[in-house]
Structure 1
Amino acid sequence: MRNRRMFVLMIIFIIFVAVMGFSIGERKKLTWPENFILDSSAFVQEWFYRPAGYIAGLFEDLSKLHDVYKENEILRGIAANYARDSIHFNQVEQENESLKEDLNFTERQKGLNNYQYLIAQVVSASNDPYDKTIRIDLGSRDGIKTNMVVVTTKGLVGLVNRVDPFYSSVMPITDLDANSLDASTKQIPATALNKKDSFGMIESYGKDTGKLTMSKIPEKDPIAKGDTIITSGLANVFPKGLIIGTVDSVQVGDFGLTQTATITPAADFNHLTEVFVVKIPDTGAETQ
């Protein structure tokens, strides 16, 4: 009943305003009741119109804000994808450069000797100053054997001294004299590159100086500062032609009959991430 009454009152009010408007259209002057009603209706309309306008504007702003939020989400996603792709691209680029360097290394070495190079990743390195053992991710299932030589693209690293099915331990040349049980691995027969008459033995490493010592060099040996020292291959353990380092200085040895050279290692033992295990055809190395 209430809704019906309200509806009837609204209809009457509308008809009244319409009739009044029609009558006003025919007259130029309005009576004061007519002026009062028109002003009142205008006030009421304005009172309803402003909040309605504010509410409509609010909803419009909320709709725009939602669109902006969506756009920001899309932009954030694009930025995140760009950052991820940039990192991935940089990693791929670094890997490509590394692989190119590795490929050049293996191709260069294949031209010198008939060796096979097995790429291995360094998984750990001991922090013990008296035992600098390096752990790699190749083992007996990959054909790794004890006393196989390990190198980087720069130079000689050491020997495999323990082999497990999936991993192996490498003893670096900086610890050969201290930890090797086999006399044949305590010294490395070496020579100067492109100097046939040069010969010596890499016997020790100075932990304070970071240099290798090459001794038993003949008095008239042509070895000189700046020479590249490589393995001579005279022993059965270290194959020939592997870079050991560069001559830093040459001194007169015991009794003036021999010379001693200080060698800067070519391999960077502080940043070993990828190495090569040298596999010699028909090697007689013993497995564990």
Structure 2
Amino acid sequence: MFVLMIGFIVFVAVMGFSIGDRKKLTWPENFVLDSSAFVQQWFYRPAGYIAGLFEDLANLRDVYRENEILRVNAANYARDSVKFNIIKEQNESLKEDLGFTERQKGLYEYEYIIAQVVSASNDPYDQTIRIDLGSKDGIELNMVVITTKGLVGLISRVDPFYSSVMPITDLDANSLDASTKQIPATAENKKKSFGMIESYRKDTGKLVMSKIPENDPIAKGDTVITSGLANVFPRGLIVGTVDSVQVGDFGLTNTATITPAADFNHLTEVFVVKVPNPGEETK
């Protein structure tokens, strides 16, 4: 085969020299050229196909890499979108919280310490809420806890880094002080209104305000706020809205049912109210 190939190459070379400048080839020369061209096409086409196949594979590899990059970028975009939405929501929440604290500071000069809810008990006999602030953060027993919407409860236990909150929906439970079982309250913009929020009805989800004088101006739709008496609950904190007013058991005082303002099913962020001088604040 080697000899035949060498002979074929020599023959083609000799034929090329013999052609010279002739414009017309003899029929043997035409036959040899046509035969060699016919044979060459069977080698050239597969070689072209193979070369094209490798080129396509290389292009396919590039496309795969580009797709990988696009998938990574899409995943990063989805992640960044979620982070942006979370940051946006937190920013709006903090703006609302800041506006709330500034508004309240202008009224009563209270200090508000923001805290995150870490757990909330589902036990109907122990509805304790845990927050991520403790004695290291200046939290003390019987400090009031609120949200931007309304009153939540009182600090019932303080640990170094965490604290427990007794919600107002658990007023009938045992507490550190008997006075914390009752919330002195009044109707907003009605100075002569007065009553004591003493219990919470789990069947209706309403607070019960009793000991309301018979001629008290409180009415359905009024906003109930803490009155500041008894030096436990600072004045001016929103408790809820009056749902109805009815005559008490003995007919001498009235009783009101109140819808709590705070949403106890979705507590994530709360404020611990720090009163610089409770005696002065409740005058």
Asked if structure 1 preserves the Cα contact closer than 8 Å seen for 2:241 and 2:258, the reply is yes
The equivalent of 1:97 in structure 2 is: 92
CA RMSD of aligned residues (A): 1.9
Aligned equivalents of 2:189, 2:238: Cα separation in 1? 12
- 2:77 equivalent to 1:64: no
Greater shift in the superposed pair: 56-65 or 145-154 = 56-65
The equivalent of 1:40 in structure 2 is: 35
Aligned equivalents of 2:27, 2:138: Cα separation in 1? 113
Displacement after TM superposition at 1:11 (Å) = 4.4
| Paired amino acid for 2:110 | Y
Greater shift in the superposed pair: 171-180 or 205-214 = 171-180
Displacement after TM superposition at 1:23 (Å) = 4.5
Aligned equivalents of 1:28, 1:156: Cα separation in 2? 110
Asked if structure 1 preserves the Cα contact closer than 8 Å seen for 2:239 and 2:261, the reply is yes
Displacement after TM superposition at 1:12 (Å) = 3.5
| Count of residue pairs brought into register by the alignment | 277
- 2:116 equivalent to 1:150: no
- 2:195 equivalent to 1:163: no
Displacement after TM superposition at 1:210 (Å) = 0.4
Spell out, residue by residue over 1:176-204, the C-alpha distance to the aligned partner (whole angstroms, 9 max, x if none): 22232421011100000000000000011
Structure 1: 5+ residue stretches without partners: none
Q: How do 1:113-262 residues align onto structure 2 when only pairs under 5 Å count?
A: 113-262=108-257
Aligned equivalents of 2:25, 2:255: Cα separation in 1? 127
TM-score normalized by the length of structure 1: 0.90
The equivalent of 1:30 in structure 2 is: 27
Spell out, residue by residue over 1:13-65, the C-alpha distance to the aligned partner (whole angstroms, 9 max, x if none): 2231133355464655414xx55533432232112111111111111111211
Asked if structure 2 preserves the Cα contact closer than 8 Å seen for 1:229 and 1:247, the reply is yes
Displacement after TM superposition at 1:83 (Å) = 1.1
Structure 2: 5+ residue stretches without partners: none
The percentage of counterpart residues that share the same residue type is: 82
Aligned equivalents of 2:127, 2:175: Cα separation in 1? 12
TM-score normalized by the length of structure 2: 0.92
Aligned equivalents of 1:106, 1:260: Cα separation in 2? 32
- 2:76 equivalent to 1:81: yes
